[in-house]
A and B are shown apart, each in its own frame.
Chain A
Amino acid sequence: MSEVKYSKEHEWIKLDGEEATIGITKHATEMLGDIVFAELPEKGSNVDKDGTAGVVESTKAASDVYTPVSGEVIDTNQMIVDDPSKINEDPEESAWFFKLKIKDKSEMGSLMSKEEYEKFAKETSA
């Protein structure tokens, strides 16, 4: 069974064995507004927990996308680069950002559950 966790930077991460799929939360897209640009890490590159691993831009501003865990980038989602509005439409499913081969599963421990994240999102946006 896959496990979904959430970061304070509003990323979600789904872990299937060694493979982690990462995207931004619906709450994040609602704060950003219409997304018009997405930049993803290079396939084959290594990213470090809490480091920058991409950029999204709305009509208003640019925001960094961070990776909640360390690992090697094994896939990126070209669909959201070609049509960034897909991120607003389906942020937590088809509009994932990148997949990592996770380096250290213990890094998942510091992340939030769905309930914890929802509470966090509600408190920080109030």
Chain B
Amino acid sequence: MGEKRFMKGNEAIAEAAVRGGCRFFAGYPITPQNEIPEYLSWRLPEVGGAYVQGESEVASVNMVYGASAMGVRAMTSSSGPGISLKAEGISYLAAAALPAVIVNISRGGPGLGSIQPAQSDYLQATKALGHGGFHCMVFAPASAQEAVDVLYDAWDYAERDRNPVLVLMDGCLGNIMEEVELPPMKELHDEDLPEWSLTRRNGRDWQGNITPIYTEPILEGLNAMAGEMYKGWEEDDVKVETFMTEDAEYVVVAYGIAARVAKEAVLTLRAEGVKIGLIRPITLFPYPKAAIRDLDYTQVKGIIDIEMTVPAQMREDIELQVMGRCPVYEYGRSGGCLLDDDGVLEAIREVLEGGEA
């Protein structure tokens, strides 16, 4: 059994990262994720790791780039405005085939937006984290415990793929306290450092080099390899929770904090005899296409996309799988206004009664 603790989501992320092998963190203060760098600033030195408060988000992600090139498990975290600044570095990580974990504890946008929670970075996370047409696996945990589980394994995916991994949570999940069970510390040894790492040249007779610059036709080949990698994710790595969808006539699709509120609504409506279920993507990329595509549309009368952002950003991904077989509705709050049980319930009831959510 793991060790049980009562922790803020952000602190749980930080501790799980350490236990998952993270030994380098660089970041820049931004609300609502400050507990992550604060925690790691003292925790990493305890385990022989290094923490740097960067002069900017841009510098921080490039520090991660340098540490990752040495084969060390490295991480940075931020919120929307800072993730935009990291976009360059994340693109370079993908280009140089360097693993890393990036955490976005998201808030209202666009621009400086609000410091209150929102799920306004879905499109950025899943479609274009930076220039040049690349993807990262995107995990969207819905609890502190799920965040712990995701962080603990995040580098296994990142190192397998030699590609950065994004963890997308909102400021609400980052700041509420919940019970978590922490896994044991992963033991990592110097001899386990990846072969490509630039840790040392001694004993190696080939030139170690890592670069984000290529010329044609090499770059085209690498682009094609990345495409194959993304296809592999769709086959092997999709994570999704389906809840009470077997007989459902209405299906709510929601991730993260929105899914927790939506689940309460589903339970309330089920108690009233409404046949309603929930699909909760845990990976936003690869998207759980099959869970939505393979619903029985002779039975399903409507899909309701619930997100803590306005307008809904995931809707197009849902519609691509529904393919017009039933109506898709959306409901959300935004700009730091939180979803609440009554609002979500009311929005779903409107759909059930034949109105527009």
A binds B: no
Binding site for A on B (CB under 8 A): none
Interface set of A (CB-CB < 8 Å, partner B): none
